[in-house]
Amino acid sequence: VSISKLGHKFAASAINTSDGGTVRVFELINNDWQQSSADISGDSSGNQFGFSIELTRDGSNLVVGCRPCDYVRIFTELSGGL
C-alpha cells in the first residue's frame, strides 16, 4: 500500500493473481474512497507485478515494481485517474 503525502489517494497491490499482479488506485471524493482508474495488471503470470508501489506526493504519478522481472513501470495521471 502507498498513500499520497496529501492523503487523498492510495494504491494497493495484489501480487499473486493470474495475470502476474494487479494494482488499484483509489481517491477520496466527497468523503468516500472510490477506485479512480481501471485495474493496472501485470504482463504475465508469476511476475509479482506490484511487489513494490509508490505514489508521488500529490498522487499524480505511480511507480510499480515487478519481481523477479527487475523493471518498474511509471504511470502518469492524464485525466480522471492514473
pLDDT in tens, 17-39: 777 899 999 999 999 999 998 99
CB-based contact 64:50 (threshold 8 Å): yes
Q: Read off the pTM.
A: 0.85
CA pair distance 31, 15, nearest whole angstrom: 28
pLDDT score of 19: 78
72: helix, strand or coil: strand
CA pair distance 74, 82, nearest whole angstrom: 10
pLDDT score of 20: 86
7: helix, strand or coil: coil
What residues of the chain score a pLDDT lower than 50? none
pLDDT score of 81: 61
CA pair distance 6, 20, nearest whole angstrom: 30
